Amino acid sequence: MKHLWIPAIVCILFSIFACTKRIPQPDRFLDVDKNTVAFGGNADSRDTIFISSNDEWAVVIKQDVDWLTVTPSSGTGDGMIVISATANMNTVRRTTNIEVKSGSNTELITVLQLQLNETIVNAVFGGEANDSFNDITTTPDGGFIAVGASSSMEGDGTGGKGGQDVWIVKFNSEGNKLWHKKFGGTQDDAANSIVRVSADKYLVLATTLSTDGDVTNNKGDRDAWLMSIDGEGNLQWQKTIGGSAEDRLYNLKIAGGGNFLMVGWTHSSDGDVSDNAGDADAWIVSVDGDGNIVWEETYGGTKEDRAYDVTPVSDGGYIFCGGLLSADGDAADNTSPAFATWIVKLNAARAIGGKVYLGESEFDYGTVVLEASNGDYVIAGQTGSSSFDNYHAGKDIFICRLDGAGSIRWKKAYGGNLSDEPGDLVETDSGDFVIGGLTTSEDGDVDNNSGGEDAWLFRINGDGDIVNSLLVGGEADDGIKKIIKLNNTHFAFVGLSGSYEDAYPDITEAIHGWFHVVSLP
């Protein structure tokens, strides 16, 4: 009987092994939870991919790239990988593919990285004719109000009074219009500045040629026109400021004590203008919250002298910039034979405490001045002068940095071989400066011009070196007029654009008001 057990055991074992061979092995499988990864352009962009597998797997980056890493590069069974990218400082998007392989199985992951200067909001407003924005402010609900000029009678231009009108548009943070209003008379009127006074009050500064419609008491020719609106754009009051000749005021600013500051030039010597040395004088006007003049001063000589911006400074005085032709009067020390940039420091009594002249061409003038966080003064403008470091050709944007005593720390030009124009200048939280304007150049500091005039936004450090640059626009003309700093890396700007109406079927081909939000670290 014992001998019978031996063959039986052998038979049983043979059957077990035979059956085991017939049991199919599980197939190798590999799966990833996403096949596309999109990164922003900032440094240390990363994403996690989860892997399902019952085998060993390995990761291979298909192209030879130096901006992407994957960890770990291999594993067994279920796991995950982390894909990381460096900052994309280029002006184009970057892309590559990653393969996750296990035996004969392969999963492909496409990685897309947007350029660092990526558009966040892009919106245009307008009608059938030419419309543009000149300034912008935030609203308490997180939106914006932009002001400018509109010649349209359709679309966002309805409600016209005649000629060109003051145009005010409110939109939300995504660029969707909430309302628009138009003010003026039968002649040309245009808004250039807006300041939020309170949660439900805004002051708008404009120029007007009208003597009818919403405009009363025009003093003669072109006047500055100040109006107050509520949060819904309803007109509360309006006042003209000027004399019998042409007068212009720009860049309305809060001056403290409930007062506001404006700057420009006047050809008048009557009305609201107390003095004029001849031709056009630089003109600074302070008003209270009801638009009543607190004080006004003129500066200049017997030729054409203009101011484009003024700002109160920490010592209780003011600083303004512009351009002039005079070499007498308040500019008796000017030695330039052509239109020169003029930077003037005023003390608290509004007397001239110091002057700086820059440039020696007909294209030199300062358009924006601010007091930096360290007490220096930074001025932006346009120049055709080789006296600026890094001057290229034609018309360049310039930036000049003065210390508190008015001594030049540095003055540099930016642009290319054609025309480059400044629009606005703001300081960042980190002590950099962001400049916005337009360019027609295609070389020098400018790359990849899309055609015509492109909006140009660039960032410089405290020494004036470009650390980031961005061109925005299309084949038509596009430009920046005013910038708002949203945070240290994100900026909103307004201006004009002829390139983006295709995205708005109700807007015809023309020049439109433009709102844009962008990242520019």
21-52 pLDDT, tens digit per residue, is 455 556 788 989 878 776 766 666 788 999 99
CA 334 to each of CA 306, 359, 403, 405, 411: distance values in angstroms, whole numbers, following the listed order: 14, 11, 21, 19, 19
CA 437 to each of CA 267, 425, 473: distance values in angstroms, whole numbers, following the listed order: 28, 9, 12
Whether 484 and 493 have beta carbons less than 8 Å apart is answered as: yes
Q: Provide CATH 2.60.40.10 ranges for the chain.
A: 30-113
Could you say which architecture CATH assigns to the domain 30-113? Sandwich (2.60)
pLDDT of residue 93: 66
Q: Which of 251, 273, 244 is nearest to 206 (CA)?
A: 251
Burial of 199 (0-12, 13-18, 19+ CB in 10 A): exposed
What's the mean per-residue pLDDT of the chain?
A: 91
Q: Which range is most confident: 50-54, 293-297, 470-474, 501-505? A: 293-297
pLDDT of residue 376: 98
pLDDT of residue 14: 45
5, pLDDT greater than 60: no
Residue-wise pLDDT for 68-92, tens only, equals 899 999 999 999 999 998 877 665 6
pLDDT of residue 449: 82
CA 358 to each of CA 248, 298, 369, 466: distance values in angstroms, whole numbers, following the listed order: 23, 21, 14, 21
471: which 2 tokens? 């061109």
d(CA 455, CA 439): 7
d(CA 324, CA 340): 6
The CATH classification of domain 120-519, taken from the options 3.40.50.720, 3.40.50.2300, 3.30.565.10, 2.130.10.10: 2.130.10.10
| 3-state helix vs strand vs coil in the chain, percent to 5 | 5, 50, 45
392: which 2 tokens? 């290229």
pLDDT of residue 20: 46
330, pLDDT greater than 80: yes
Instruction: Give the residue-averaged pLDDT of 497-520.
Output: 86
pLDDT of residue 24: 58
Q: Provide CATH 2.130.10.10 ranges for the chain.
A: 120-519
11, pLDDT greater than 50: no
12, pLDDT greater than 70: no
116, pLDDT greater than 70: no
Check residues 4 and 493 and name the one with the higher pLDDT. Answer: 493
Strands, sheet with 377-383, edge to edge from the N-terminal-most edge strand: 365-371, 377-383, 396-402, 408-414
76: which 2 tokens? 């067994």
pLDDT of residue 45: 74
pLDDT of residue 17: 43
For tokens 């109000």, the residue is: 145
Which of 114-123, 200-209, 250-259, 317-326 has the lowest average pLDDT?
Answer: 114-123
261 phi, psi to nearest 5 deg: -125, 140
The pTM assigned to this predicted structure is 0.80
pLDDT of residue 92: 65
